[in-house]
Structure 1
Amino acid sequence: MGTATGTPDSTSTDAASPAVDRPGPHRIVVLALDSVVGLDLGVPAQVFGTARDSGGTPLYAVTTATAGRRPVRSTAGFQVLPDHGLSVLDEADTVIVPGVHDGPALHEGTVDPAVARALRRAHHRGARIMSICTGSFVLAATGLLDGRPATTHWAYAGRFRALHPRVRLDPDVLFVDDGAVLTSAGVAAGIDLCLHVIRTDHGSGVANRAARRCVVPPWREGGQAQYIQRPLPENGDAGTARTRDWISHRLHEPLTLPAMAAHASMSVRTFTRRFRAETGLSPARWLLQQRTEHARLLLESTDLGVDQVARRAGFGTAAALRQQLHRHIGVAPSTYRRTFRG
């Protein structure tokens, strides 16, 4: 429990969910500190801003705040002129802290007392708290990560451990969902975390549409390694992408490693090595991930019985599907269906 996850609440200690049940879009505040990372700052508005319900109504409203409503510098050579100060955190359902490249949080393990109070106050009243990249240093400086699992950019792991030994740091994963507090690794992992939250809140259909609008993969498993070597293939057919696409259209069929390697015209050893280099996962783990996601999508979007869902997703039997969902999500198929269709 409380380890990296790539599916709603899988291995989280308490379910990440909207803090307050009230009408209107879920309110997200992005809290920018000085030397904020430009990409991290823009990710939440872009990803959450594309999430719509079936009627096209926005599901999230994203605003930006700084301490004292003051301008802050970004790492991209521009200043951020916010519309709000810290008081807006008192109305937020979710607060997101983007990464920083300088400042006391990164070098001394401290943070502006006013910022720390605002974050702790938001957490204590039930708001979801998130960080992207080195934003985890800010959360750790407030004490919100003490005793919790968390992650940050792999390049800052040593510094993080030295400053915050009470945090259970895992620098090898893309993001960690510990229920009310979520952290992600650097750069693109922030996109993965935002999509994970949308999927947790509203299901795979909404998250997949948001990913499609952002032109990014619908999801990457949270436990996937941060640093993946991707050597360029000698030609366009030398990688495993074509075989992965072939597999994704045959999830219901029995698929063996030799069959996958044969489709890619490689030996099993070469195929396994290249597959892991390109995806960060073994072929078997990647296939299980795809089947689990497909089963969840069928449970959310169809009235198929559990036996039919199990067969179409490639699990064969309802018992095998139940075991897999319990392992990764912690609930039975029928419970999962009620959660996202209730």
Structure 2
Amino acid sequence: MKKILLLLADGFEAVEASVFSDVLGWNRWEGDGSTEVVTVGLRDKLTCTWNFTVLPEKTLDEIVLDEFDALAIPGGFEEAGFYEDAFSPPFLNVIRHFHANQKPIASICVASLALGKSGILQGKKATTYNHSTSIRKEQLKNFGAVVQNDLVVEDGHIITSSNPGTAFDVAFLLLENLTTKENADHVKELMGF
């Protein structure tokens, strides 16, 4: 069984988190059965971008990082306090741990900024929120990333994406990396993609 740590910052977008639990959950019951998602936050109660309240299964101090095979991080909104958690030392240290062990890291939208802040995107191809009025690409570049204009970017074991609309693509790519393309395609077909 491959355990995926779904790391949630206060102010995260629920839709971006749900794709990981759904795709990997479908795989557990209808695919090859090899994935388990554990939701983890810095606190025992989180508020999503649009005031949806979530109780993660575990807090960061209750888990052992070495027990996990992959990391998934949804993005969120600055106005909802996302960067307070996402840029905090404990959050960044989780990212660094997975990178140091070359385990898959999948991020959606502005979650790539946390990867950048952690230092793991130095010289790596990556993307982030891509709306023409957004300052996020410049921020990512300032963290040392080689910013791409693609919707989803994979560089080694790191996946980044450009907006919430890419969420399913990221989740399926993570599933493919953890299992096989054939298995990911099977789950896609079962889910109507």
TM-score normalised by structure 2 residue count: 0.85
2:66, 2:179 → 1: CA distance? 24
1:56, 1:164 → 2: CA distance? 38
Q: Which residue of 1 aligns with 2:15?
A: 39
What SS does structure 2 have at the residue aligned with 1:50? Answer: helix
Which aligned pairs between 1:146-157 and structure 2 lie closer than 5 A? 146-155=122-131
Q: 1:61: Cα distance to partner? A: 0.4
1:74 aligns with 2:48: yes
Q: 1:163: Cα distance to partner? A: 5.8
Q: Which residue of 1 aligns with 2:184?
A: 207
Residues 107, 160 of structure 2: 8 Å contact kept = yes
What SS does structure 2 have at the residue aligned with 1:76? Answer: coil
Q: Which residue of 2 aligns with 1:177?
A: 154
Q: Which residue of 2 aligns with 1:135?
A: 111
Residues 105 and 164 from structure 1, CA distance in 2 versus in 1: closer, same or farther, beyond 3 angstroms?
Answer: farther
Compare relative contact order (CA 8 Å, sep 6+) and give the higher one, 1 or 2.
Answer: 2
1:85 aligns with 2:59: yes
Residues 163 and 123 from structure 1, CA distance in 2 versus in 1: closer, same or farther, beyond 3 angstroms?
Answer: closer
The amino acid that maps onto 1:177 is: E
The amino acid that maps onto 1:82 is: P
Residues 127 and 163 from structure 1, CA distance in 2 versus in 1: closer, same or farther, beyond 3 angstroms?
Answer: closer
1:187, 1:159 → 2: CA distance? 14
Q: CA RMSD in A?
A: 2.4
1:44, 1:56 → 2: CA distance? 14
Q: Which residue of 1 aligns with 2:146?
A: 168
1:237-260: CA deviation from partner (whole Å, max 9, x where unpaired): xxxxxxxxxxxxxxxxxxxxxxxx
What SS does structure 2 have at the residue aligned with 1:144? Answer: coil
Residues 65, 88 of structure 1: 8 Å contact kept = no
Q: 1:118: Cα distance to partner? A: 2.1
1:273-330: CA deviation from partner (whole Å, max 9, x where unpaired): xxxxxxxxxxxxxxxxxxxxxxxxxxxxxxxxxxxxxxxxxxxxxxxxxxxxxxxxxx
Q: 1:215: Cα distance to partner? A: 1.9
* Unpaired runs of at least 5, structure 2: none
1:61 aligns with 2:36: yes
Q: 1:88: Cα distance to partner? A: 4.2
Q: Which residue of 2 aligns with 1:193?
A: 170
The amino acid that maps onto 2:145 is: V
Q: 1:98: Cα distance to partner? A: 0.4
TM-score normalised by structure 1 residue count: 0.50
Q: 1:199: Cα distance to partner? A: 2.8
**Percentage of identical aligned residues:** 27
Displaced runs of 4+ in structure 1, greater than 6 A?
A: none
2:186, 2:146 → 1: CA distance? 34
1:49-78: CA deviation from partner (whole Å, max 9, x where unpaired): 11259x9651210110011x4311102331
Q: Which has the higher strand share?
A: 2
Q: 1:162: Cα distance to partner? A: 3.6
What SS does structure 2 have at the residue aligned with 1:47? Answer: helix
* Unpaired runs of at least 5, structure 1: 1-24, 217-342
What SS does structure 2 have at the residue aligned with 1:215? Answer: coil
Total equivalences in the alignment = 186
What SS does structure 2 have at the residue aligned with 1:51? Answer: helix
2:118, 2:138 → 1: CA distance? 15
Q: 1:157: Cα distance to partner? A: 5.1
